[in-house]
Amino acid sequence: MSLLKVVGLDKSYHSNFRVLTDINFEVDTGEFVSIIGPSGAGKSTLLRCINRMVEVNEGKILFGDLDVGNLSKKALRKLRTNIGMIFQHYNLVPRLTVIENVLHGRFGYKTTLQGILGKFTEKEKEHAFFLLEKLGISDHAYKRCDQLSGGQQQRVGIARALIQEPKLVLCDEPIASLDPNSSKVIMDHLKAITSELNITCLVNLHQVDVAINYSDRIIGLNQGEIVFDGPSQMLTEGR
């Protein structure tokens, strides 16, 4: 059974303007899939439909055996812990430390921030350190996030997304605010850590070269429609 199955998805924000039209695809556990397309193609909207930050107009999204469009409150919580999010602008809490930001990911962003470290067990803190070590930033664990470079902040963003032990991570333009060197560091880490932990990855990118370098498979979106879906080397051969 596929991990994610999208069937006949249509999405409009306004009644007569379709942002996504008849989207169909399946993703298997362990795949690293890039979604590429120009700005406005509908990439962010597609990710937001998958974790139900927005509602679809038509079609079905299945995450394992969960029907994303038809969930109890409890099942929606389960969906959100099983799907991690990584954002272009990191979305960290600037005045909190690295370790606090990572642990905060366990709460699903819904708790007060006072004394956050005290709310976690040693085991949970060790888990956060394990991820920070993997990502090469455990030395910065007690620095405030606003003292870090963009590339370091995005590594914190990755650790925060992974602390819930999700099955899937959705990455919305994770390197769009970074220079080429930091972009490479981030993509290398994202690929290595998700493959080691067997986490499936869906990554929105607008750089075709990066998508070809890192992904097993590429989905091309243009004006809300899938215009390509296949192994990344098929795009290299066409060049």
Q: Which residues bind ligand ADP (CB under 6 A)?
A: 13, 19, 37, 39-45, 88, 173
CB of 124 to ligand ADP, least distance (A): 31
Cα distances (Å, whole numbers) of residue 221 to 95, 104, 130, 133 = 37, 33, 36, 35
CB of 86 to ligand ADP, least distance (A): 12
CB of 12 to ligand ADP, least distance (A): 9
Nearer to ligand ADP, 2 or 88 (CB): 88
Nearer to ligand ADP, 43 or 134 (CB): 43
β-sheet with 58-63: strand ranges across: 17-27, 4-14, 58-63, 66-67
The neighbouring-strand residues paired with 67 are 62
Relative orientation angle of helices 150-162 and 180-196, to the nearest 10 degrees: 20
CB of 43 to ligand ADP, least distance (A): 3
Most distant CA pair in the chain, distance: 55
Nearer to ligand ADP, 41 or 190 (CB): 41
CB of 135 to ligand ADP, least distance (A): 23
For residue 55, what are the contacts with CB-CB under 8 A and spacing of at least 6?
49, 69
The neighbouring-strand residues paired with 205 are 36
Nearer to ligand ADP, 19 or 98 (CB): 19
Nearer to ligand ADP, 128 or 171 (CB): 171
CB of 11 to ligand ADP, least distance (A): 8
Do residues 182 and 158 touch, judged by C-beta distance below 8 A? no
Q: State the residue for tokens 């990911």.
A: 105
Nearer to ligand ADP, 116 or 161 (CB): 161
- Among the residues of 171-218, which ranges form H helices? 180-196, 208-214
